[in-house]
């Protein structure tokens, strides 16, 4: 069973940072999409944003594309999201 990392454990990992503060929809999610596309499987991505629509957009992005959203919160006017790029399932060859 996979365990969820705490915020301090996430911060101690290697990750890509997307600073989307000041950007409006759809730019934060577009930046996330581009970063995920270039990242290795299992890579961690931290997103900082100020646009309240990211609360809906990032959660929907992760849900629909199956990238685990490990943690998110809002503090003051900053939204922070931790996303992990999904790992492809290994398919056995029944050939």
Residue 10 CB-density burial (10 A; 0-12 exposed, 13-18 middle, 19+ buried): middle
Domain range for 48: 7-84
| Phi, psi of 59, rounded to the nearest 5 degrees | -65, -45
Q: How far apart are CA 82 and CA 48, in angstroms?
A: 9
Q: Is residue 16 part of a domain?
A: yes
| Residues in the chain, total | 95
Mean pLDDT, rounded, for 42-69: 97
Query: Does residue 94 lie in a domain region?
Result: no
- The answer to whether position 37 is within a domain reads yes
| Per-residue confidence (pLDDT) for residue 5, from 0 to 100 | 76
- Tell me how far apart the alpha carbons of residues 64 and 9 are, in angstroms, rounded to a whole number: 26
pLDDT at residue 57, as a whole number:
97
**24-53, pLDDT tens digit by residue?**
999 999 999 999 999 999 999 999 999 999
Note if the bond before 26 is cis, omega within 30 degrees.
yes
Residue 72 is predicted with a pLDDT of: 95
> For residue 53, what is the domain's CATH number?
3.30.110.40
Exactly one of 10, 23, 25, 39 is catalytic; which is it? 25
Q: Would you say residue 95 lies in a domain?
A: no
For residue 2, pLDDT beyond 50: no
Residue 79 lies in a domain: yes
The answer to whether residue 25 is catalytic is yes
What pLDDT score was predicted for residue 1? 35
């Amino acid at each position: 069973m996979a365990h969820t990392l705490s915020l301090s454990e996430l911060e101690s990992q290697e990750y890509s940072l997307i600073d989307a503060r000041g950007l409006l929809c759809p730019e934060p999610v577009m930046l996330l999409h581009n970063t995920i596309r270039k990242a290795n499987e299992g890579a961690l991505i931290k997103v900082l944003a100020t646009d309240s629509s990211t609360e809906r957009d990032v959660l929907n992005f992760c849900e629909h594309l199956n990238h685990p959203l490990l943690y998110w919160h809002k503090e003051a006017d900053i939204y922070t999201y931790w996303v992990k790029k999904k790992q492809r399932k290994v398919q056995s060859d029944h050939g």
